[in-house]
Structure 1
Amino acid sequence: MTLENPVDRSGVNCISLYELCHRINRVLAANFPNPIWVKAEIASLQLRREHRYFQLVEKDQQGEKIISKAFASLWAGNYSKLRRSRGKQLDEVLKEGLEVLVLVKVTFHEEYGFNLQIQDIDPNFTIGKYFSRKQQIFNKIKERKLNRLQASLPLPYVLQRIAVISSSQAAGYKDFCQQLEEVRDKMDIHHLLFESSMQGKLVERDMLKALDQIECSYRSFDSVVIIRGGGGKLDLADFDNFLLAEKLAMMPLPVLTGIGHEIDQSALDLVAHHSLKTPTATAQFIIDHNLAFLKRLSIARDTLTSGVFQVLVSEENKLISLHKDLVHSGRHPLLQQHYKIMQLKESLKANVQYHLRESHHNLNSIEQELKLSDPKVILERGFSITAKNGAIIKNETQVLDQDELEIRLFKGNLRVKKI
């Protein structure tokens, strides 16, 4: 066949596109006269004019390849009715990445094509699936003894340099900062934010990146804090992640979690050094820990002072007693007592000097340990911290041409641009 000799199709029996779509509509209506329950994963969800539009998918057994997908809709009026009957659990299950059981009416519109109209949703199905998967993750963590690694790390005497993983926009992060700000006049606590998504698909990627950055410069920090605001049970789903739990468990620094849930424990809570209920409680834990050290230091100082004083009083009493004995003794005993006094004097002098040296050495050691932990001292020694958008730079590959950098010095900051 050539363009010069086209085949004449004018006599071929054909139908219009509308007629084809109309027939498909009738076939589907005949085969699916009633709504049917379907289980699928929510791949995407969009809200427009109070209507909710979904892309539902089913993946293979490995959970990697999509083997089926369809569009679905939940109209605003039907959502309102379901919200009244299902309660707040409805919103908890309508999230990307969760598997849902939905009652759908199969439709095919001549203009808009195939669509599943959602009539009902069973939140218990999604919650059951979530807890089943969560238990599998917990079992895997315990089988590999990952929940014991963080507990074996010693907690520093003072927590002054904190690496925080959170979102700068999260209310929980602001609560954490406010709690530390209230004790600024009593103790100097520095915290550096490593920005991360705290909900949704990007949590795993962002948090692994933040943990890697902290691990590369772990000597600059005393501990890691992971915080976020509160939410429902399924809001913790992003933290029930084995890869994140494994990475957190193997961190060289003690990790504190405060993810804002009073009842349920996430996989990250299970492996953390300490798990706190809220960001505010996490900040208070740090404050109380530091106050406890200051109290121990004060007790040690008082004990040392009291001990030296008691030694002095005891030796003074011995001298007084010897003096009385000398007054009532003859010449020969007087010489003997004189020698004893000289010996006691030397012994007293040696004891006092020894206790004072030990006290001075202990106080100097404690003072030196505290000074060396202060970032200001590190900067004063000539070191600097280079950061881009709040993140610490560790190698040149992180910096592109024309990037603006902040160099933190002992006195002041510099802003430079790579050319």
Structure 2
Amino acid sequence: MSDSAPASTGFPPLAPVIPVSMLNRLARERLESAFPLCWVAGEVSNLSRAPSGHVYFSLKDAAAQVRCVIFRSRAQLLGWRLENGQHIEARVLVTLYEARGDFQLNVEAARRAGVGNLYEEFLRLKERLEREGLFASAGKRALPAFPRRVGIVTSPQAAALRDVLSTLGRRAPQVSIVLYPTPVQGDGAAAQIAATIRRAGERGECDLLIVCRGGGSIEDLWAFNDEAVARAIRACPLPVICGVGHETDFTIADLAADQRAPTPTAAAELAAPEQAALCRRLGVTRATLLRSIGQSLDQRGQQVDWLARRLQHPAQALAVQRESLRNLQRRLGAGLLQASAQARSGMASLGRRLLLSRPDPARHANRLAGLTPRLRGAWHEARQSRSADLARLRDGLAHLNPRAVLARGYSVVADDQGRVVRDSTALEPRQRFAVLFHRGRVDATVVSVFEEDDTVLALSAIASPASPE
């Protein structure tokens, strides 16, 4: 065995060794993937606030506790102050703090214990009213552009009222305000809010209505999550702006209102336009109008000057018309003379063409008399030439006539089919044939056939009665 080879110990190979940081990271990843976001209930203890803005505490119950952290970005959105001893419900991510290996919960949101039931009730009411169409945008009205009187439904002791009054006094001092006092928190507040909204609608002394109150917990704002308040808002004949709570708060009244504002101050800003902005707009509009009027007057003055230059005295217009009439008369006279001359020239040309085209009987009769003897001579000459040709052809045809050959003592032998026999081998014994003479014909039957090399073919035949031809 080589010295460099490792010695065998007899034990199975070990798993790979990993550092603590990798172990904690793997454990954190397993925890976060195994546990989705969930709600955990417990009592707050050991709470501390770091200078960074993060909040550290423990959630505990009778049997166990767990470390929790709310990072600064989430803590700013709570809307209420977290303290030891509070019972809360937290929406958490189960994780592991890798640097120390501590099991902890990262809190994404938190609410006071019992708020979950209220929130579920809020969701059920919202869903039912939404199915009913109470929140439909089709039935919502536009806010008046320039209201003269604004009604406010809120508590006279509410800080929200001071915010609305100061905002309207600063932005729109020309708007008068009518306060409809009502409790906005506590037992029976929802029924009183609904009754106040109905009373404001029945009085009809305002152009629009603001329903508002300051921020608070979901319990504090619960009067505005009431069905009676939502129905009163929808039934109100006045446009309604709802400004309840802070920007993150959302109630059933916000959904039912014609316009939702994130805060009471924002509701006041929506209710009436800013007077200074209106004055600026009015100044800009006035300057634009004056500029437009000035431009229009300048254009009209220029148009008047142009029309004045075109304007003529009636006598001058008549003189122009008379001169135009004289020009037309001169043009008419010249045109008539020119047309008459052209017509006369055309007539003369047509007369000459007619004289050239008219027939001359005497001239044609003389020509005909001269052509008659020539025609007769040509006809006699042609007839004599054709007669000579005919005689020559007749003589040539007579030489080719077969009967002329037969007249010299020759005859023609034809078989029973009428074909001319040129060879004795074409006939067979007992075959009928005919012999044609210059005059007449003989029908015969072959008795025997003889062949001679250099003489005339001899046939032995029995003649039948001859038939004239």
The TM tier, using the shorter chain, reads 0.3 to 0.5
Relative contact order, higher structure (CA 8 A, sep 6+):
1
After TM superposition, the score normalised by the length of structure 2 is 0.42
After TM superposition, the score normalised by the length of structure 1 is 0.46
